[in-house]
Amino acid sequence: MIKRSDKIGIIGLGLLGGSYAKGFYNAGYRVYGIDIDPEAIAFAKRMKWIVEGGDDPALLSDCDIVISALYPRLFVEWIKENQHVFKEGIILSDVTGIKRQVIEEVNAVLRKDIEFIACHPMAGREYKGIAYADCNQFETSNFIIVPTENNSERAKEAGYDIGRILRFKTISELSPEEHDDIIGFVSQLCHVIAISLMNLSENEKLVDYTGDSFRDLTRIANINENLWPELFICNKDNLLKHIDALEQQVHILRDYIEEENIEAMKALMVEATARRKKFDRK
Amino acid sequence: MIKRSDKIGIIGLGLLGGSYAKGFYNAGYRVYGIDIDPEAIAFAKRMKWIVEGGDDPALLSDCDIVISALYPRLFVEWIKENQHVFKEGIILSDVTGIKRQVIEEVNAVLRKDIEFIACHPMAGREYKGIAYADCNQFETSNFIIVPTENNSERAKEAGYDIGRILRFKTISELSPEEHDDIIGFVSQLCHVIAISLMNLSENEKLVDYTGDSFRDLTRIANINENLWPELFICNKDNLLKHIDALEQQVHILRDYIEEENIEAMKALMVEATARRKKFDRK
């Protein structure tokens, strides 16, 4: 449970870390920020999102809740090197997009008095950096808590509190295995498709012949190349499975087109239309 | 060239036909509409988009410019049966999403005194029906004129005029072969992907774990099953070629993921990001 007097520490003031700082600030919390980039710290201070910040981990020594908004591997390294600054019994959380490996590696090195509750705010953007930070998007986004069987009710409750304080639209729980499987599908597979589609044609004039379809399917082809290869590799087993399944599904439709099987095509379209309706924003 | 006094006939008052009627009406033209659905006619009359309308083709006998907003095969059938009502020397245009076959079949049956200039407004939507008609979307959309070598300057100019009167963002020309190749890529391939992705998982709870990526890539999975199988079949050669190319492109990235080749993945992401920037709306 997060109390109103709890101090919130955020490691990494990028797009998501900055949005978290802003969201906690808006909700009346005292936020402390760590970043190696002095400009990110200066920006967050100017906006009043953090009361104190810098590159010294000791700035988090009085925090009750610490949230890492670092890339997965950097997160594990940071904890190894700097967790000695934390006071006893704090709750640690994160924003990482893949979970099994992060949870295992963090818990393998984490102090025994500190509990890690993994969370995934599904609010990434095709931009990077604190200048794009925006916590309004949380109100239309999903928040997933990813507990292990070793997590206490207290830590899970802190996860729900983070989602509630930041005003996420839905808050749900998935096991690390379920999470990585589903994320491999709804997020990573979509990025693989967008990158591939974007790289398929060198036609410079394509933009003049384009409707919204291509624009929609490639929005996320604008991708952070320093983060995503790591996410793909950490979830390789699931992602490869989903890529292979997509390929088979495309082949079904491809064959119907080749055979000019109108009724079979219609059935796939009716099914897709019915399923898609559930995803329309209310 | 379209004169301000020219009467505009529109065959088929669905989403696009209705938007055309509204756009020409807004620009001060007198529009006549044909539809077998009395409700579509009543709607267009109530909105004042058409001065006269009904299911009788003879209502178009005084029109100078006639635009078909019917599905491709229906368009050809309609011309065969009803072109006798047109006055001499008019210009015929359309909104069809595929061109080679339509141009060939229409020209094969068309009266010699009438000239057909094929046009493709890239402003389809994932809805159908005149109730969704909206000509504002044209201002952010591309308009493609698809002349053959037999088209006169006068007919091409009429194509440009349609694009200008309806306030399309860009107007360009493509040959029927170029058009169908490019549309097979930027539109049809995207619909194949969206349908396949949407049909891939039966997980009813997916909507609670979804970010914007999956939502974006499947928007067009909400698809008119009475129109699209016909569009796919009419452009089968191009579409199958693009599906096969996409599959190869996905495989390149798939193999890099399997090999954990970070540098190669980064290069694909940097390339995709650079290309995508050109498609951002200004």
Instruction: Give me the mean pLDDT over the B169-187 stretch.
Output: 96
Nearest CA in chain A to B211: A122
Instruction: Give me the mean pLDDT over the A207-217 stretch.
Output: 88
Residue where one domain finishes, among candidates B174, B189, B204 = B174
Q: Indicate which CATH number applies to the domain containing B127.
A: 3.40.50.720
Is residue A281 scored above 80 in pLDDT?
no
Residue B94's closest CA among B25, B169, B148, B144? B144
Q: Across the interface, do A219 and B276 touch by the CB < 8 Å criterion?
A: yes
Smallest Cβ–Cβ distance between A253 and the set B185, B192, B246 belongs to B192
Question: Within this chain, do residues A111 and A22 fall inside the same structural domain, yes or no?
Answer: yes
CA distance B257 to chain A (A): 6
Evaluate whether residue B2 is within a structural domain. Answer: no
> Rounded to 5 degrees, what angle do the CA atoms A274, B124, B193 make?
55
Question: Within this chain, do residues A266 and A198 fall inside the same structural domain, yes or no?
Answer: yes
Alpha-helical regions (H) of A123-261: 153-165, 176-183, 190-198, 212-218, 228-234, 236-259
Interface probe, candidates A173, A232, A259, chain B, greatest B C-beta count within 10 A:
A232
CA distance A122 to chain B (A): 5
Q: Report the percentage of chain A scoring pLDDT > 70.
A: 99
Question: Within this chain, do residues B116 and B196 fall inside the same structural domain, yes or no?
Answer: no
The pLDDT tens digits for A43-67 are 999 999 999 999 999 999 999 999 9
Is residue B204 scored above 80 in pLDDT?
no
Question: Within this chain, do residues B152 and B210 fall inside the same structural domain, yes or no?
Answer: no
Give the integer Cα–Cα distance in Å for B137 and A34: 45
Question: Within this chain, do residues B161 and B273 fall inside the same structural domain, yes or no?
Answer: no
Evaluate whether residue A2 is within a structural domain. Answer: no
Smallest Cβ–Cβ distance between A243 and the set B187, B250, B275 belongs to B250
Question: Within this chain, do residues A159 and A230 fall inside the same structural domain, yes or no?
Answer: no
Interface probe, candidates A249, A261, A278, chain B, greatest B C-beta count within 10 A:
A249
The pLDDT tens digits for A75-85 are 999 999 999 99
Nearest CA in chain B to A254: B240
Question: Within this chain, do residues B11 and B84 fall inside the same structural domain, yes or no?
Answer: yes
**What's residue B123's pLDDT?**
87
**What's residue B145's pLDDT?**
98
Is residue B249 scored above 70 in pLDDT?
yes
What is the residue-averaged pLDDT of chain B? 95
The pLDDT tens digits for B99-148 are 999 999 999 999 999 999 999 999 877 678 899 898 899 999 999 999 99
CA distance A217 to chain B (A): 5
Q: Indicate which CATH number applies to the domain containing A244.
A: 1.10.3660.10
Q: How many independent structural domains does chain B possess?
A: 2
**What's residue B267's pLDDT?**
97
**What's residue A282's pLDDT?**
52
Smallest Cβ–Cβ distance between A222 and the set B186, B197, B276 belongs to B276
Q: What is the DSSP letter of B87?
A: P
Q: What is the ipTM of this complex?
A: 0.88
**What's residue B281's pLDDT?**
67
Residue A241's closest CA among A193, A185, A190? A185
Give the integer Cα–Cα distance in Å for B193 and B198: 8
Question: Within this chain, do residues B212 and B102 fall inside the same structural domain, yes or no?
Answer: no
Nearest CA in chain A to B121: A211
A3: exposed, middle or buried (C-beta count within 10 Å: 0-12, 13-18, 19+)? exposed
Evaluate whether residue B282 is within a structural domain. Answer: no
Question: Within this chain, do residues A56 and A97 fall inside the same structural domain, yes or no?
Answer: yes
Look up tokens 């019915």; give the residue. A274
Q: In this complex, how many residue pairs, one in chain A and one in chain B, have their CB atoms less than 8 Å apart?
A: 268
The pLDDT tens digits for B39-84 are 999 999 999 999 999 999 999 999 999 999 999 999 999 999 999 9
Is residue B282 scored above 60 in pLDDT?
no
Strands B142-146, B115-121: pairing kind = antiparallel
pLDDT band at A235 (very low <50, low <70, confident <90, very high): very high
Beta bridge partners of B262: none
Q: Across the interface, do B239 and A257 touch by the CB < 8 Å criterion?
A: yes
Q: Across the interface, do B196 and A233 touch by the CB < 8 Å criterion?
A: no
Nearest CA in chain A to B146: A209
Q: Across the interface, do A232 and B278 touch by the CB < 8 Å criterion?
A: no
CA distance B113 to chain A (A): 31
Look up tokens 């981990």; give the residue. A57
Instruction: Give me the mean pLDDT over the A6-24 stretch.
Output: 97
Evaluate whether residue A122 is within a structural domain. Answer: yes
Instruction: Give me the mean pLDDT over the A155-182 stretch.
Output: 97
**What's residue B99's pLDDT?**
97
Question: Within this chain, do residues A41 and A81 fall inside the same structural domain, yes or no?
Answer: yes
Residues spanned by the domain of B223: 179-277
Question: Within this chain, do residues B156 and B188 fall inside the same structural domain, yes or no?
Answer: no
